[in-house]
Amino acid sequence: MDSLPDRASHPPVVVSVDDVSKRFTVRKDSSVKERLVTLGRAGRRHREDFWALRGVHMEIRAGETIGLIGHNGSGKSTLLKVIGGVIQPTSGSVRQRGRVAALIELGAGFHPDLTGRENVYLNAALLGLSREETDDQFDDILSFSGIGEFIDTQVKFYSSGMYVRLAFAVAVHTDPDILLVDEVLAVGDEAFQRKCLDKIRSFQEEGRTIIIVSHSLGQITELCDRAVLMNRGEVAYEGDSMAAVSKFRDILEGRRRDEDAARAGGTDHEADGPVGRVLRTTVRAAARKEGEEIRFGDDLVVTAELEARETLTDWLCAIQIDNTLGQKVFGTDTRRLGLEMPPLRGVARLEFIVESTTLGSGKYFVNTSLMDSAGRHLHDTPQATSFNTENYERMTGMVRGAVSASLVLDE
């Protein structure tokens, strides 16, 4: 590993991942009988190597909050487990400095026949606390979990929410230098989720190092200094969290388009398709080319290419813009705009112009529908296309605007 920069200007490296790869063996013979039959002669043909990680390099400095993102199977959770020492890499090395607490498999050390109180001491011991340290922390653990009088009940009678809340409470009270968090910021009800996020923020203020795996991209951009995008076991991008999330959404959109194309590959539209349909939808800023980021105040041009194999005399076209959570942020149609549509036959292009857009930073999807005046859908193209809006440092949320602030002091 390279020598560290001047400590006066850079915090020390507390996690160093050096050329880490991890291989798992996937067996194709599912039963014991099949394994006995294949043992010693054709066993290799019934095994397949799967590389969850390939050549991963990473350095994390003290006080940083790092997000690990990627689609299911990309290797992010495996990487977190390797960093936490839960599993060993096939090759490469990981070095840590300081006490590590891993919120990876909450309650993994709980015994169902023991009470909550007994499991607190058991789990705390597994996480490295002495009995005296657990005694000092016990009241805070109980208060944080909200378990109350159920602390002396066997945990096998707990609801799943009570179980993970108690496990989370134990883990975050182990006084870690490095906190590893894997998809556990969504445990419990809304009030408990806010408590979890507040705890994470308090750790940040205390200068602790945090590594988070989450599918909630909003949490990643809100909490993390930078992010690492994993794809097929490799680091696809490392840097600014907003840029990482944008690149991840592009990967997801590419996968979705490939899946849609595969599903539509055998469809004979001419033989059994709808009389009218949406052929294609494009989106761009009026002043720029298709594919470029949409900027604050741009006019957005959505072009729908339509086709009718027979004459359609009763029709209208609708567009809807959704965010990544599937929430509608904008919608309109030709009838709302007061357009009288002539009969449609053959191919035609319809252009919508959304003036002076104020969409917040992120990725958005455009849905296009061909309908009749009664509201019946003749043909829909969900997520027909997508676009990204530029990052804007001065605010967050789905709506952007010109903003300023001034302080007025009472005399």
**SS3 for 261-325, per residue?**
HHHHCCCCHHHHCCCEEEEEEEEEECCCCCCCCECCCCCEEEEEEEEEEEEECCCEEEEEEECCC
Angle at 330 between CA 325 and CA 336, to 5 degrees: 145
> Rounded mean pLDDT of 288-308?
91
Assign 404 to helix, strand or coil: coil
pLDDT at 271: 44
Count Cβ atoms below 10 Å from residue 237 Cβ, excluding itself. Answer: 19
Residues 275/245, Cβ–Cβ less than 8 Å: no
The predicted model gives 181-195 an average pLDDT of 74
Stronger pLDDT, 190 or 367, i.e. the higher one: 367
Q: Compute the distance between CA of residue 222 and CA of residue 71 in angstroms, rounded to an integer.
A: 19
Higher pLDDT, 334 or 258: 334
Q: Read off the pLDDT of each residue in 50-77 and give the average, rounded to a whole number.
A: 92
- Residue 108: the pLDDT is 63
Q: Is 189 left (phi over 0), alpha (psi -120 to 50) or beta?
A: beta
Q: pLDDT at position 190, please?
A: 75
Task: Give the pLDDT confidence score for residue 270 in this predicted structure.
Answer: 45
> In the prediction, which pLDDT does 313 show?
92
167-179 residue pLDDT tens: 888 888 888 889 8
Q: How far apart are CA 302 and CA 293, in angstroms?
A: 14
Instruction: Report whether pLDDT(188) > 60.
Output: yes
Among 138-142, 239-243, 250-254, which stretch is predicted with the lowest mean pLDDT? 250-254
What pLDDT score was predicted for residue 7? 43
- Look at 207 and 127; give whichever has higher pLDDT: 207
pLDDT score of 49 more than 60: yes
The pTM for the full model equals 0.68
For residue 29, is pLDDT > 60?
Answer: no
CB-CB contact of 193 with 186 (8 Å)? yes
State the CB neighbour count (10 A cutoff) for residue 5: 12
Positive or negative, the CA dihedral 73, 77, 82, 85 is negative
- Whether the per-residue pLDDT at 67 is higher than 50: the answer is yes
The residue that leads in pLDDT, 339 or 184, is 339
pLDDT one-digit tens code per residue, 102-160: 777 666 668 889 999 999 998 888 777 889 999 999 999 999 988 889 999 999 998 87
Q: What SS3 class is residue 32?
A: helix
Q: What is the pLDDT of residue 20?
A: 95
Domains of the chain plus CATH, in order, are 13-250 (3.40.50.300), 275-389 (2.70.50.60)
Half-sphere exposure of 25 (CA within 13 A, CB side): 8
pLDDT over 70 for what percent of the chain? 86
Q: Quote the mean pLDDT of the chain.
A: 84
Q: pLDDT tens digit string along 335-379?
A: 999 999 999 999 999 999 999 999 988 889 999 999 998 888 899
